[in-house]
Amino acid sequence: MDATTSETPTIQYHNIPDQPITTIVATQLPTFQPQQRHCFKDSSPGEFPLSDNPSIVLHVLTTCNLYAQDLAKLEATCSFFKRPANFDPDFDLSLSELAALDMCQKRAIFNPMTTEQRQHLKQRCGGSWKLVLRFLLAGEACYRREKSQVIAGPGHSIAVTSKGVVYSFGSNSSGQLGHGTTEDGWQPRPIRALQGIRIIQATAATGRTMLISDSGQVYAFGKQYFCENEIGNEGSKMVTTPQLVESLKNIFVVQAAIGNYFTAVLSREGRVYTFSWGSDGKLCHQTDPNDVEPRPLLGALEHIPVVQIAAGFCYLLCLACQPSGMSVYSVGCGMGGKLGHGTETDEKYPRLIEQFQLLNLQPMVIAAGSWHAAVVGQDGRVCTWGWGRHGCLGHGNEECALVPKVVEELKNVKAVHVAAGDYTTFVVSDSGDAYSFGYGESGTLGHDPENPEQEHMHADVLTPKLVTSMKQNYERVIQISLTNSVYWIAHTFALTESGKLYAFGAGDKGQLGVELRPYQTERRKPQRVDIDLG
């Protein structure tokens, strides 16, 4: 995973002095005498000599970038790693815990925290630095913190480079491109008002864009409200350049999601806050729909840290990190079974989706489409559920699934990423291949027509199908983003390992960032966008 930004001070690994190789090699080595037990120094056989100087072991553990479960296995299998290390900064911690703490300090969102804030996060995660490390790494993987990313919003698009520079293009009727005008943009342009601010995450809705900086501040532009249901209202207030969201200034935000009638943000401590849609208690609170104050999500997730949020049409998914493992909670509208609880009942408070325990699946990544949802498990299996129109669940039919169901057609594929839109789903494998299924309108699935004479027909795909047009580019896909809105014809982006961006689908507002022929409104085949996100 990525380390801290360049502004973060270099971590000192417990005062291990830097020595040139020549100095170490030239050091006079002792003469070995027969029968002398040098491997134990002056200790008795059976004692580990490195316990006299744990700096060496600690240095190895921290520089190898081990995962939290690796450190836990060391403690479970060796008493040397289980007992207190008697070492700074906490003499009661084991070497594994100290290594986990050191690696936490490499994370950009952890380093600025005060001692009190760090201890509070530790308790929220279960009282262990290893669990804090797992929480931080899981969050970075889910929403690509500190890495390049692209957002296929409704009618407009946002691209963020690995250095935090933001480009926007497409529909701009409400100033959602952030360039200070309301003119549509047909070519990617950097948002100059953000010069000097490093952006690490973005989200978009109809007529609205939200960006999050590396210091946890949230910037918004376009229509000035936190619910998407006011689309097209005459006289709606708007801003055309990024403005700081004042009500979130005291919350260090790491992710945002917009899901029709509400907006949700996630803090670095794993707390979820929501705006709007509280007039009838839909999201745990009673508020005016136009309320601009963030309200904490109450109920089961008050004391459980969340690593990722995903919003669909009137519902919210939360990927939670507990000592027992990862789990998914859902809240909101249950129409079509998209909450995953076996019914279509609405939920006003977050409720655990229990089906993953029955499937013995450890959720790692979540995606919320307009009417259906998907999860990638640690073992690479993919589950989908909700409204199955157009085959968007990948089960070979259009039936609803009221609980998560494994996509059997992908049983020989190890998935690492999933994206969901309006009756459309994409899955990315560990080998960089992309698979898509669901609604084929505007060529948003990226498949060439099997019959050239049917080029303008948008056939649905009921089971996962390899996007061969991306495979022909010999590029490993690492992220897919597709429009998640019931109001706009969708477009899709594929981001490759080398930072190249490919676009396909609807492009009538310039949201693809590529040139279209006269009277052309879409691109069926992925085309390279002239922007380098690497």
Domain assignments of the chain as residue spans, ordered by start: 52-139, 143-227+234-448+455-527
Torsion angle (degrees, nearest 10) of CA 518, 521, 524, 525 = 50
- Give me the residues paired with residue 222 across strands: 208, 239
Instruction: Provide the greatest CA pair distance for the chain.
Output: 93
Tens-digit pLDDT profile for residues 499-516: 999 999 999 999 999 988
Instruction: With cut-offs at 50, 70 and 90, classify the pLDDT of residue 283.
Output: low
| Mean pLDDT, residues 286-312 | 84
Chain-centre distance for alpha carbon 80: 36
Strand ordering across the sheet containing 306-312: 306-312, 315-322, 325-332, 347-352
**The pLDDT value given to residue 215:** 93
- Is pLDDT larger for residue 77 or for residue 32? 77
Rounded CA-CA distance 27/22 in Å is 9
pLDDT higher than threshold 90 for residue 415: yes
Tens-digit pLDDT profile for residues 479-488: 999 998 877 8
- Per mean pLDDT, which range of 8-12, 57-61, 287-291 is the poorest? 8-12
**The pLDDT value given to residue 141:** 83
Rounded CA-CA distance 241/175 in Å is 7
| Mean pLDDT, residues 415-430 | 96
- Give me the residues paired with residue 375 across strands: 366, 383
- Is pLDDT larger for residue 342 or for residue 289? 342
Q: 28: burial class by Cβ within 10 Å (0-12, 13-18, 19+)?
A: exposed
- The residue written with tokens 């055309």 in the block is 240
| Mean pLDDT, residues 165-175 | 95
Tens-digit pLDDT profile for residues 239-265: 999 999 999 999 999 999 998 788 899
- Give the chain's length: 534
**Beta strands, E only, 166-233:** 166-170, 185-190, 199-205, 208-213, 218-223
- Pairing verdict, β 263-267 and 415-420: unpaired
First-to-last CA distance in the chain? 15
Q: Amino acid identity, residue 97?
A: E
Rounded CA-CA distance 335/314 in Å is 9
Say if CB 326 and CB 142 are below 8 A apart: no
Rounded CA-CA distance 39/115 in Å is 40
Rounded CA-CA distance 285/298 in Å is 8
Give the fold, CATH level 3, of 143-227+234-448+455-527. Methylamine Dehydrogenase; Chain H (2.130.10)
- Per mean pLDDT, which range of 57-61, 149-153, 162-166, 339-343 is the poorest? 57-61
Instruction: With cut-offs at 50, 70 and 90, classify the pLDDT of residue 288.
Output: low
Question: What mean pLDDT is reported for the chain?
Answer: 84
**The pLDDT value given to residue 53:** 64
